[in-house]
Structure 1
């Protein structure tokens, strides 16, 4: 692993351990055992480093989705598995999830981050297309349907993170909400 990758991994760990405020270039340098100036040789700013974390995470999610898409499971099962990847990520890495999907300043940096995010979302749209081809989801523009499904997922993730998903309110958990949505779309 090269120094830039080590810095990105250290920043990801700091995000996991202490949230956004825990990530500083000095803290990342200390965590990787490099000089305090070394991060600046690879990242012009803290935001560039955070964009590196987001890029790596989008690439990892895309890889997980590609493996799911290549599996022998039924298309709807693959879609639910793809959604579970994001649910688990949001629960295990909440600060990094917010970085990926709730940081417009980081998203606006473009470049490799935009490429990685678009590539990941293309794989997700292909999983949705597979469901449509199997007549398990309605025939509609697949990109639009993928966005609606993904937006619903993130709405439930946000509701869960804020404590609004409770069984007494009718929302037991994120996964059951997504299974309900996919089931309704399937039975249209």
Structure 2
């Protein structure tokens, strides 16, 4: 494995273990066994390395969101929404990083080209039921899902007496389709 790939892999591991706040160039270099200046040969800024790390998470999320089979459109949308929330719960550090466009804008790796197809997945599924306003409905759906993911990650849903997402996912999807 090349050194840039090893640096990215080390970054992914550290992100999963310690979260975004502790993901430094020094920590990644230490994990990789290279000098603290070595990452800069391949990634000119800390954010460019973060962008490369985020790209791996976006690839994973995109693969998870691929529709399974030819079921009814609403059920496929429920499945995609559920997978989105599962990703957020299973990989909270990565979930935080891939949506930090403030950090990653201009950092390289053309993350917008990678992240926009994720949104298009939701638009395409919604369009099967509501072609005229699919993008607007998908934006509303996605913001609701992202909010659920955030509330779940911060344990705020427990304050409301629920952690069961299945009924909420169905309700959110249904409310944006009907």
**SS of residue matched to 1:165:** helix
Counterpart Cα distance in 2 of 1:95 and 1:160:
14
Question: In the alignment, which residue of structure 2 is the partner of 1:173?
Answer: 164
Backbone CA RMSD of aligned residues: 2.2
Counterpart Cα distance in 1 of 2:161 and 2:132:
29
| Bigger mean CA offset, 48-57 vs 120-129 | 120-129
Select the residue among 132, 139, 151 that pairs with 1:147.
Answer: 139
Query: Once the 2 structures are TM-superposed, how far is the Cα of residue 146 of structure 1 from its aligned partner?
Result: 1.0
- CA separation of 1:140 and 1:15: change in aligned 2, threshold 3 A: same
TM-score, normalised to structure 2, is 0.86
- Per-residue Cα deviation, 1:18-75 (whole angstroms, up to 9, x for no partner): 1123211121122223333221111112111111122221122222223x2x523322
Query: Once the 2 structures are TM-superposed, how far is the Cα of residue 110 of structure 1 from its aligned partner?
Result: 6.0
Select the residue among 139, 162, 176 that pairs with 2:154.
Answer: 162
CA contact (8 A) 2:65 2:84 kept: no
Counterpart Cα distance in 2 of 1:110 and 1:74:
39
Structure 2: any 5+ residue segments left out of the alignment? none
TM-score, normalised to structure 1, is 0.82
Counterpart Cα distance in 2 of 1:124 and 1:2:
35
Query: Which fold has the larger relative contact order, with Cα–Cα distance below 8 Å and residues 6 or more apart in sequence?
Result: 2
Is 1:183 matched with 2:174?
yes
Structure 1: any 5+ residue segments left out of the alignment? 133-137
Question: In the alignment, which residue of structure 2 is the partner of 1:24?
Answer: 24
